[in-house]
Amino acid sequence: MQVFGKRWTWIVLALILAAGAYYGYGRWQQATGQEQDTGEETLKTARVRRGDIVLYANGTGTLAPAYEVAFAFNTPGRVVEVYAQVGQVVEAGEVLARLDDAEALARLAQAERNLRELTSPAAQAQAEADLAAAQENLNTMRNRLAWLISPGVLNTTERLQKAEDRLAALKAEYGENPTEEQQAELDAAAYEVRAAEAALRAAQAYYEETYLLDNFAETVTNPKTGEVSIVYEYNEATGKDEPVIYPPSIYDIQQAWADYNLAQARYQEAQWYLDALQGKELPPEASGAMLARLQQAQDDVVSARQAVEDTRLVAPAAGTLLSLDLTVGQTVSTAPVAVVADLAHPYVEVYLDEIDWDKIAPGYPAEITFDAVDEKVYTGLVVQVDPALVYEQNTPLVHGWVQLDPGQSGLRLPVGAGAAVDIIGGRADDVLLVPVEALREVSPGQYTVFVLENGEPTLRSVEVGLKDLFFAEIVSGLEEGEIVTTGIVETQP
């Protein structure tokens, strides 16, 4: 109901305005009739016709490459060869010049020699022998520890450690709010920890009750029969004869654990080193003195090769050399010495007056004429408009980029060539046109015209499309050939 009410409001307003306009027109007729003694006023008219209308925003610009890159040597030195010249088209990665590289090549040769020595068949055979020795030492240290604390205690202690490590890793991975599936995995890991703890308690009980007596009790051997028996002594505290046992000291057990852990670490480092020599992928935590030495030798080769590459001036992109400030024998730093640009896909950097801000946007077509080429119009497309105005000599301007359409002839122009640019903000072909003087704007965006019907001007609402300084597109409300008034012209009798 509200929409319907608004529609009637606009209709009534239009009728009131039309009546007022017609009344004004009648008053104008009366006034002219009264002034016929000094002169006569007649209506100025125009015929509704078909034609084209184009909205332009005019600006100036300069020709620019699609990209322009300044580049330099990565190391200072003396130029010994120059392979290119200004204006030459080069490919990305192409070597354009070279510095004296004798020292860099010698360093590379030494680094490669050092790496070959560390990775030779003899070095790999030695690594395999070191791994076998580390394995034998690991077995010895484990057997010694197992004898001191019992195999059962050793096995269950390692089992408990693995279970605790897994549970801690899962907690860290799943956080405080695990999913149902993750919680089930956490519960299983926690159960394994409890099971390992129970197994360790049982192994420790067996160690204290049986293993110590079997392995560390004092014994005597009957020289006649060779029979071995345990020595017992009377214990006044208990009033019983008890076996004499000399268990391992805490120090002995701690030292055995330390030796075992060290043997494990050395074995792991030997395995990582051999894996590296064989080209296998290593985990991030891989370490060891020999591995570090190998990695340093590999890094030295990479660094030496880069040092050789740094003596070459390499084009960073394909394009045309705009400058190459080099001569043989010249000593250079790491400051830019060359510029390469893509001239095959040129752009025009364009500047428009601030009032034309609404007449340029990405996707708008453009027409360009260059000062260096007479009577030749090139086409392009706006690809970028800066979101903020730029200032040239304190004048605010709209800044944008126009990409020229490919395949146009005669585009062998120098970078920086001046151009006049017309941005086409709107276009309508073969549409109804009337002079803008015929339009009466009754409200924002709402227009009427006076149409001559039987020689009398009649007010009519029209829908207007594009409009420039001279003509307006009529979308609806008029027919081709109708006559509209555009004002009053005074004629002398």
Q: Write out the H or E segment, with its range, that includes residue 342.
A: none
Instruction: Give mean pLDDT, residues 301-322.
Output: 96
pLDDT at 8 over 50: no
Fold of 38-66+345-493: Elongation Factor Tu (Ef-tu); domain 3 (2.40.30)
pLDDT at 492 over 50: no
Furthest CA-CA distance within the chain: 170
pLDDT in tens, 251-278: 999 999 999 999 999 999 999 999 999 9
At 11, the pLDDT band (50, 70, 90 cuts) reads: very low
**Burial of residue 434, with CB atoms counted within 10 A of its CB: 0-12 exposed, 13-18 middle, 19 or more buried:** buried
Percent of the chain with pLDDT over 70: 91
pLDDT at 31 over 50: no
The total of other beta-carbon atoms located within 10 Å of residue 453's CB is: 11
Provide CATH code, domain 68-100+311-340: 2.40.50.100
Bridge partners (DSSP) of residue 219 are 230
pLDDT at 453 over 70: yes
Instruction: Give mean pLDDT, residues 320-348.
Output: 94
**Phi/psi of residue 87, nearest 5 degrees:** 95, -10
Report residue 289 as tokens.
């003195």
- What pLDDT does residue 489 have? 55
Quick one: which of 127, 142, 138 has its CA closest to 289?
127
- What pLDDT does residue 266 have? 97
121-149 vs 250-277: helix crossing angle, rounded to 10: 160
- Tell me the C-alpha to C-alpha distance, in Å, between residue 125 and each of 115, 119, 270, 281: 16, 10, 12, 19
Report residue 181 as tokens.
């599936």
- What pLDDT does residue 225 have? 86
- What pLDDT does residue 359 have? 87
Which segments of the chain belong to CATH 2.40.30.170?
38-66+345-493
pLDDT in tens, 49-79: 999 998 889 999 999 998 999 999 999 999 9
- What pLDDT does residue 18 have? 39
64-78, 144-158, 231-245, 315-329: range with lowest mean pLDDT: 231-245
- What pLDDT does residue 32 have? 31
pLDDT at 94 over 50: yes
- What pLDDT does residue 239 have? 86
pLDDT at 476 over 90: yes
What three-state secondary structure class fits 483? strand
At 25, the pLDDT band (50, 70, 90 cuts) reads: very low
Question: What does pLDDT average to over the chain?
Answer: 89
pLDDT at 435 over 70: yes
At 41, the pLDDT band (50, 70, 90 cuts) reads: low
Instruction: Give mean pLDDT, residues 299-315.
Output: 97
- What pLDDT does residue 450 have? 95
Instruction: Give mean pLDDT, residues 239-258.
Output: 94
pLDDT at 37 over 50: no
Report residue 175 as tokens.
């956080």
pLDDT in tens, 179-236: 999 999 999 999 999 999 999 999 999 999 999 999 999 999 988 888 988 899 988 8
pLDDT at 295 over 50: yes
**Phi/psi of residue 228, nearest 5 degrees:** -100, 130
- What pLDDT does residue 414 have? 87
